Structure formats: structure tokens, C-alpha cells
């Protein structure tokens, strides 16, 4: 076959394939098209726009606007990677990243451990099981900001319920949100409280899909409760737990409401994670720094994508298809 | 999960479309006959003790202009700045008139969100306004707001507790510190509640040491010089010596409660808290509340000039009605009513001549204080200068930073915000 003919065949083949695909799946494509369009407009466009803005020096004062009698022309410039070098060269980013990692690991680890324990307890046959399940899932049904404000009332150093209880036991008031270390523990506690129901439900589902025969057989072979847990429950749960751990890592990494509503990142900047810090930089100062905030957003997205890829790869190494 | 996302996306899309369409409403304006009509949306930022009075006053405007519909919206002070910026910058949902904090005017005007009010009916008899109050309404030679109330910080004190302890009202923070032990021993109360959560409350300490945030005329950052360091040290010493209690969150509620219950003898606050404090059990006898000038530091005495202005959104569909509403809300009559009901300080010289205002005890104290209050730099970035102070005063109070480190850190962030400052 000469080169020209091969080229012609290839170019003839391409539209053919597309047409064939369209012919077989046209129905699916029509059904999906509106969704693709909406996602493209709502997620794709802002993402691309954000990427572009992060390479400029755009802020609230120099983007184009028409407000009644006032017209403000666009005067921002393309500045390349300046925003990124500035952020990465600043100690603030790295110190916040350190605490964000501690916060994420602590929250995910604790919610998983507590969720797994509770799920195991609830997987037994016991009286009033439905009641316990409902009670444990309830925190999930309450909007996060309501829970957080409730906790804030409880934590209030001078008038909060927690310190009143401690005072009853003769213990000095704990500066829950007014001391850097206590504040860190307090925000983690709230996030764990909010996160456990999700873990519980997911893991309970996983537990119930494990066939009872496995446990029976193990028991016949004389395996103890701990051995059964380690060798049957944990491996069988791997599919579910790897998914929920990844999801929960991503959520916790970006858990804006808990920190912002509970401490506003304080005292000082002790509990500030990357997203709340980005918020403080971009929305508290004036004029609002659109380009800087876009660059922070892109960096956070990159970090999370990296975590997901590394995590998936390590699972695949363990033989998990996911 | 995925299905959830798609639904959210669809809902968000529809919501966006709906708000985009909704922005055009409002309609109506001055009719040919000269009678005002249409809707004026008013965002009020007054606090819980004040808002009922403001709502009623705003709605009374409809009696004078029956064809104008005033939509009163109460917006919490803490959210108002961000909420207005979101709405104004996004081009939908901004109010026609907003009660704007004095430090926000230059910021909003700089971004093009406010309508200039020179030569409009809104700026009625400007010669009658106190010059300090008028200062915050001007930006780049134009007037962008009209003063509504003015205020400054004062020292609220519980007369009974001070009397029981046998101490005088302190004139400096050093005197307060010295009296603290007596107050604690004789009454069980702590001497002072120190707002550690709000940077505005740092200013009396800064001014008291002879410092300032920035020198806007010569473009110099001043907060990181000696006076700034001393100011951070002053708050730290008050808390460490147990002369004061503080919080990093919920300071407004905690301070009010502590003062009302008599668990602290003194607190620094402004006229906006008078009504709230008087609702407490310690102040059932209204005479038990005393107000004195904010104590001074080692160098001088000073408290920041605050207050609220009324501004008109440049994109308002109803400019004429909005101007008339602003004129009404800042009129002598309305100012007189807010003083009688809430003890707030008027911004018009003529109102101070009225007997009911003249004889108001709180006005009697706060008026001379306001006359001497320190004007803040009315620059576009003025409001941004507070966040760095907040972070650092938190750090100093919790021992996470020394006063020197704190002052330096605030100075550094100021130079980032104000790029052409030294």
C-alpha cells in the first residue's frame, strides 16, 4: 500500500468510525448530551477560566464591569507563573499544608476506626437495632452548619455546656477554642462527629454483604473472634473501605465549613487549612484577589489529584481492581 | 454519587438562569408627575437590639411616598460586606440602599459600586453634618455616602461593683490593672473584658501608646514600630495578670453577657451596645451603667471614630427613590428618633440642639468623645487592615507569638496589601 493510499484510507476510516459509533449509540448520546452540556458549562468553563485567571493579576478592581452609571474597563495583565512562585515561595503555604495533612489524616483515621467499630457492633443481632442505627445516622441528617454552630455553643469557654459539666466535676474550664492545641483537637472532634455516620453506613453495607458461611467455617476451624475479624472481615471490606477512605480524604482536605464556622481558622491561624486560608486571602482583603485565589484553587486541585492517583496505584499494587 | 452530582449541576444551572433573569426587576422610577414610585431595597446592618426601630423608621418612609415600596432586609453586620460585594460584583441582588460601615465606603467607591451623591437630593444640607462624620463619606473628591450615626468606643462600667471595690473609674489601662486585684478581692468580678476576637478593639491600645496603623498621607506603615509592639504587650499583660478575661471567638456575646451578669466590672464598647447592656440583670436600675472615656496607654488616649453611613448602589434601578430614602433616613427627624429610642449619636449638628437629645445621658458622654475620636485612614484598603491584626492579637493572647513578632507580621502583611507603602 502506498503512503498516499494508506493516508486516504485512514482519513476515510475516521469519520466512518464516528458515524458507526453514533449510529449504534445515538440514543445514549442524545440522552447524555444535556448533562454533558450542563457539566461543561458549570464545571468545565469555570475550571478553564480559573486556570487562565491564575496566570494573570486580575482582582476585583481591574476586571471589567458595568454598574449602572459606572463602567470599569478590564486592565489586568498576563503574568505567567508569578502567582504560583509567590505562593510556593511563601512559608505560609507550607505551614498550612503541614497542618492540613495532620488534620486530614487524624480525621479520616479516627472516623474510619470509630465507624468500623460501630458498624461491627450494629451488625450483630441485638434488640432495638433499628433504633441504634437511626440514632447513629442522625448527625448526618442535620445540616453541617447547624451542627457546627451547636458545637460552638457547647465549646464556649465561659458560657458553654461542656465547661459547665466539667465545673460540676470540679475541673477547671478548658479553653476549647481559645488555645491553639485545644482548638485543633476541638475542630477534629467535630469533624469526626460529622463524618462517622457516613463511614458507619458504608461499612455496615459492606459487612452485610459478607456471607455468614465464611464465619461459620472459620469458627469450625477454631478461629477466635480477633482472627475472624482480621482474616475475614477486613479483607472482605477492602473494596468498600478503600473507596470511603479516598472520598473522606478528599472531603476532609477541603472541609471548609467546620473550620470556618467553628474557629474562622483561629486562634491566630492555628486551625487554618489550605482552603480556609485561600478564602481569607481572597475574600477578606480588598480588592478581592481573583488571580491569587484561582492559583490557590489550582494548587489544591493538583494536590488532591495527586493523592487520588498515588492512592489508587498503591491499591492496585495490593491487587485491588478499582 | 454521580447521579447526585448531575442533579446538583442541573439545579445550580437553573438557579443561575433564574437569578440572571431576576436581576432586571424593580422597575418604575420617577413618574412624569414628579411623584416617586418603585421599590427601594434597604439592607440594614444594625444589631438585634436596634433593628426593630430601624425597620419601623424605614417603613415609615412609605407614608410620605405611598407609591414607593420599601423592602427592609436585616443583614448581620459580619456578613454584610462580603454579601454586598458578591451581589454588586455579580451584577444581581444588590440592595438600592445600604447602611455601610464608615471604613467600607472608600472600598466600595473605589470598586465602582457606589453612586456619587454630590448634587443629588440624598446629600441634603451637608453643612449641618459633623465634619468628622463627613470625612468618611468622601473618596477622590466625590461624596459617596451620607452619615447616619457616628460612634466611638468608651469604657462601660458597673457603678455598683466599682463602688464596692472602692476604686475610681480608671483613666489609663495601668490604673485599671492596678485596681484589678481590689475589684477581684472585694466583689469577685474580673476588672475588664478584653475583646480578643475583634481587631477594632485593639485600636485604643495602639492609639494609647501613640501608634497608628498607617500614615496614609506619607504612605508609611506605622504599626510595626515601637508603639505597635507596646500595644500588643499591653493587651498581653492585662490578660496574663488576670486583670482581664478574653476570648478568641464569640467576643461580642461573651462580653455583653459578662457585663450584664456582673462577672466583669468594665468593658470597652460603643453606643450600639447601650440598649443590650441595659437589658441585663445588673442594669435593671439604668443608673448603674456608667460610661467613661476609653482608658489611655503610656503615651496618650484615643479611640477610633466609627459609625454608619448610607450609600446608594450605582446599579440601582430606582435612583430617585433611593436618593429620597437616604435623605429621609439621615434627616434630622429620623436621627432624633434613633437617639431617643436607642441612644445612638446623631451626625447632624442641629440634632444635638434638641432638648431630648441634649439631655440624653449617653449622648452627653459620647459626644465629646466623638469630637476627639481618631479618624482612621479613609483609604480603599482601610477595611483590609483589620484581618492581620486579628490573627496576630489572637496569637499574642494565646502565647503563639511575642508582641515583637506580632507587630512585625502585621507590618509585613500591610506592605503586601498596600503595595506602594514603605
Q: Tell me the pLDDT tens digit for each residue of B290-313.
A: 999 999 999 999 999 999 999 999
Q: At what angle do helices A144-155 and A256-263 cross, to 10 degrees?
A: 30
Q: Beta-strand (E) ranges in B172-243? A: 190-194, 214-215, 220-221
A286 touches chain B (CB under 8 A): yes
Q: By C-alpha distance, which of B420, B329, B334 is closest to B381?
A: B420
Which letter does DSSP use for residue A231 in this model? I
Judging contacts by C-beta atoms under 8 Å, the chain B residues touching residue A57 are: none
How much is the pLDDT for A160?
86
**A171, pLDDT greater than 90:** no
Judging contacts by C-beta atoms under 8 Å, the chain A residues touching residue B91 are: 65-67
B390 and B235 Cβ atoms separated by less than 8 Å: no
**B64, pLDDT greater than 70:** yes
Cell 491553639 sits at which residue? A180
A273 and A187 Cβ atoms separated by less than 8 Å: no
Are residues A264 and B249, on separate chains, in Cβ contact within 8 Å? yes
Are residues B112 and A178, on separate chains, in Cβ contact within 8 Å? no
B392 and A268 Cβ atoms separated by less than 8 Å: yes
**B406, pLDDT greater than 90:** yes
Are residues B9 and A269, on separate chains, in Cβ contact within 8 Å? no
CB under 8 Å to B361, separation ≥6 — which residues? none
How much is the pLDDT for B326?
95
Nearest to A286 among B254, B384, B390 (CB): B384
The domain ranges of chain A are 17-72, 90-288
As a whole number of angstroms, the distance between CA B44 and CA B73 comes to 6
**B24, pLDDT greater than 60:** no
Instruction: Tell me the whole-structure pTM to 2 decimals.
Output: 0.82
Are residues B380 and A263, on separate chains, in Cβ contact within 8 Å? no
Average of pLDDT values for A78-96?
90
Choose between B24 and A119: higher pLDDT: A119
A90 touches chain B (CB under 8 A): no
Q: Beta-strand (E) ranges in B196-247? A: 214-215, 220-221, 244-246
Output phi, psi for B296, to 5 deg. -95, 170
CB under 8 Å to A231, separation ≥6 — which residues? A218, A223
How much is the pLDDT for A5?
52
Radius of gyration (C-alpha) of chain A in whole angstroms: 26
Confidence band for B30, pLDDT divided at 50, 70 and 90? very low
How much is the pLDDT for A321?
55
CATH architecture of A90-288: Orthogonal Bundle (1.10)
As a whole number of angstroms, the distance between CA B348 and CA B130 comes to 6
How much is the pLDDT for B3?
40
Residue B322 in grid coordinates: 433611593
> Phi/psi class of residue B6: alpha, beta or left (left: φ > 0; alpha: ψ in -120 to 50)?
alpha
Choose between B33 and A164: higher pLDDT: A164
Each residue's pLDDT tens digit, A50-75: 999 999 998 888 888 888 878 888 88
Q: Where are the alpha helices (DSSP H) in A254-289?
A: 256-263, 274-279
If you measure CA to CA, which chain B residue comes closest to A289? B417
Mean pLDDT estimate for chain B: 88
> Phi/psi class of residue B296: alpha, beta or left (left: φ > 0; alpha: ψ in -120 to 50)?
beta
How much is the pLDDT for A128?
81
Nearest to A267 among B314, B383, B398 (CB): B398
If you measure CA to CA, which chain B residue comes closest to A244? B1
Q: Considering Cα of B254, then B259, then B264, then B270, what sign does the dihedral take?
A: positive
CB neighbour class for A274 (10 Å; exposed up to 12, middle 13-18, buried from 19): buried
Judging contacts by C-beta atoms under 8 Å, the chain A residues touching residue B113 are: 67, 70
Each residue's pLDDT tens digit, A216-273: 999 899 888 899 989 999 988 988 898 899 999 999 998 999 999 998 887 888 999 9
How much is the pLDDT for B35?
78
Identify the H or E element spanning B260.
helix B251-261
Output phi, psi for B380, to 5 deg. -60, -35
- Considering only A28-32, B15-19, B41-45, B162-166, which range has the smallest mean pLDDT? B15-19
Cis peptide before A56 (omega within 30 of 0): no
Each residue's pLDDT tens digit, B320-357: 999 999 999 999 999 999 999 988 999 999 999 999 99
Q: Chains A, B: CB contacts under 8 A, how many?
A: 125
Average of pLDDT values for A114-141?
84
As a whole number of angstroms, the distance between CA B344 and CA B360 comes to 10
Mean pLDDT estimate for chain A: 86
How much is the pLDDT for B1?
37
Average of pLDDT values for B4-24?
41
As a whole number of angstroms, the distance between CA B157 and CA B164 comes to 13
Confidence band for B9, pLDDT divided at 50, 70 and 90? very low
Radius of gyration (C-alpha) of chain B in whole angstroms: 23
Give the domains, in start order, of chain B with CATH numbers. Answer: 8-151+306-371 (3.40.190.10), 154-303+393-417 (3.40.190.10)
Assembly ipTM: 0.77
Q: How far is B302 from chain A (nearest CA, A)?
A: 26
Amino acid at each position: 500500500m502506498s503512503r498516499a493510499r494508506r493516508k486516504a484510507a485512514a482519513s476515510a476510516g475516521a469519520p466512518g468510525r464516528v458515524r458507526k459509533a453514533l449510529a449504534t449509540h445515538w440514543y445514549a448520546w442524545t440522552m447524555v448530551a444535556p448533562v454533558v452540556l450542563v457539566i461543561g458549562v458549570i464545571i468545565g468553563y469555570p475550571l478553564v477560566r480559573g486556570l487562565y485567571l491564575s496566570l494573570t493579576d486580575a482582582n476585583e478592581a481591574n476586571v471589567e464591569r458595568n454598574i449602572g452609571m459606572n463602567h470599569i474597563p478590564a486592565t489586568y495583565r498576563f503574568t505567567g507563573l508569578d502567582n504560583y512562585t509567590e505562593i510556593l515561595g511563601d512559608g505560609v503555604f507550607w505551614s498550612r499544608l503541614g497542618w492540613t495533612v495532620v488534620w486530614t489524616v487524624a480525621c479520616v483515621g479516627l472516623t474510619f476506626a470509630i465507624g468500623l467499630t460501630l458498624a461491627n457492633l450494629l451488625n450483630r443481632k441485638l434488640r432495638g437495632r433499628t433504633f441504634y442505627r437511626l440514632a447513629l445516622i442522625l448527625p448526618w441528617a442535620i445540616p453541617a452548619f447547624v451542627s457546627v454552630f451547636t458545637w460552638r455553643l457547647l465549646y464556649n469557654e465561659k458560657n458553654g455546656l461542656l465547661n459547665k459539666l466539667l465545673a460540676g466535676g470540679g475541673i477547671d474550664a478548658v479553653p476549647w477554642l481559645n488555645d491553639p492545641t485545644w482548638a485543633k483537637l476541638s475542630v477534629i472532634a467535630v469533624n469526626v462527629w460529622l463524618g462517622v455516620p457516613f463511614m458507619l453506613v458504608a461499612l455496615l453495607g459492606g459487612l452485610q454483604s459478607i456471607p455468614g458461611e465464611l464465619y461459620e467455617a472459620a469458627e469450625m476451624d477454631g478461629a477466635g473472634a480477633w482472627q475472624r475479624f482480621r482474616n475475614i472481615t477486613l479483607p472482605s471490606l477492602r473494596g468498600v473501605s478503600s473507596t470511603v477512605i479516598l472520598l473522606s480524604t478528599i472531603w476532609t482536605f477541603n472541609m471548609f465549613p467546620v473550620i470556618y464556622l467553628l474557629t474562622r481558622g483561629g486562634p491566630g491561624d492555628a486551625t487554618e487549612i489550605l482552603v480556609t486560608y485561600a478564602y481569607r486571602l481572597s475574600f477578606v482583603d480588598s480588592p478581592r484577589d481573583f488571580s491569587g485565589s484561582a492559583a490557590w484553587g489550582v494548587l489544591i486541585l493538583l494536590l488532591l489529584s495527586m493523592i487520588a492517583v498515588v492512592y489508587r496505584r498503591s491499591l492496585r499494587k495490593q491487587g485491588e481492581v478499582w | 454519587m454521580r447521579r447526585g452530582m448531575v442533579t446538583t449541576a442541573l439545579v445550580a444551572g437553573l438557579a443561575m438562569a433564574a437569578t440572571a433573569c431576576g436581576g432586571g426587576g424593580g422597575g418604575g422610577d420617577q413618574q412624569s408627575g414628579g411623584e416617586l414610585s418603585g421599590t427601594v431595597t434597604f439592607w440594614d446592618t444594625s444589631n438585634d437590639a436596634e433593628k426593630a426601630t430601624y425597620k419601623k423608621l424605614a417603613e415609615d418612609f412609605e407614608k410620605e411616598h405611598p407609591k414607593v415600596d420599601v423592602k427592609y432586609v436585616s443583614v448581620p453586620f459580619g456578613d454584610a460586606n462580603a454579601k454586598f460585594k458578591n451581589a454588586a460584583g455579580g451584577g444581581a441582588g444588590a440592595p438600592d440602599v445600604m447602611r455601610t460601615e464608615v471604613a467600607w465606603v472608600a472600598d466600595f467607591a473605589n470598586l465602582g459600586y457606589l453612586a456619587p451623591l454630590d448634587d443629588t437630593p440624598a446629600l441634603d444640607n451637608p453643612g449641618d453634618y459633623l465634619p468628622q462624620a463627613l470625612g468618611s463619606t468622601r473618596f477622590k473628591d466625590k461624596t459617596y455616602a451620607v452619615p447616619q450615626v457616628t460612634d466611638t468606643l468608651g469604657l462601660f462600667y458597673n457603678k455598683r461593683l466599682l463602688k464596692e471595690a472602692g476604686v475610681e473609674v480608671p483613666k489609663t489601662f495601668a490604673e485599671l490593672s492596678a485596681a484589678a486585684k481590689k475589684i477581684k478581692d472585694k466583689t469577685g468580678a474580673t476588672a475588664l473584658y478584653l475583646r480578643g476576637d475583634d481587631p477594632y478593639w485593639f485600636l485604643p491600645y495602639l492609639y494609647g501608646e501613640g501608634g497608628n496603623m498607617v500614615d496614609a498621607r506619607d504612605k508609611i506603615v506605622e504599626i510595626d514600630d515601637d508603639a505597635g509592639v507596646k500595644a500588643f504587650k499591653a493587651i498581653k499583660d492585662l490578660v496574663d495578670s488576670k486583670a482581664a478575661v478574653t476570648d478568641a471567638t464569640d467576643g461580642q456575646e461573651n462580653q455583653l453577657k459578662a457585663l450584664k451578669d456582673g462577672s466583669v466590672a468594665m468593658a470597652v464598647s460603643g453606643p450600639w451596645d447601650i440598649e443590650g447592656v441595659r437589658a441585663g440583670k445588673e442594669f435593671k436600675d439604668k443608673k448603674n451603667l456608667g460610661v467613661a472615656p476609653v482608658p489611655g496607654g503610656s503615651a496618650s488616649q484615643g479611640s477610633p471614630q466609627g459609625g454608619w453611613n448610607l450609600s446608594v448602589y450605582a446599579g440601582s434601578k430606582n435612583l430617585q427613590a433611593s436618593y429620597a430614602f437616604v435623605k429621609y433616613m439621615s434627616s434630622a427627624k429620623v436621627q432624633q428618633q434613633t437617639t431617643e429610642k436607642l441612644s445612638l449619636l446623631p451626625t447632624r449638628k442641629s440634632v444635638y440642639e434638641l432638648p431630648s437629645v441634649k439631655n440624653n445621658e449617653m449622648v452627653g458622654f459620647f459626644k465629646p468623645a466623638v469630637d476627639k475620636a481618631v479618624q482612621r485612614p479613609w483609604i480603599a484598603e482601610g477595611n483590609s487592615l483589620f484581618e492581620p491584626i486579628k490573627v496576630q492579637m489572637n496569637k499574642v493572647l494565646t502565647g503563639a507569638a511575642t508582641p515583637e513578632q506580632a507587630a512585625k507580621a502585621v507590618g509585613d502583611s500591610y506592605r503586601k496589601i498596600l503595595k506602594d507603602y514603605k
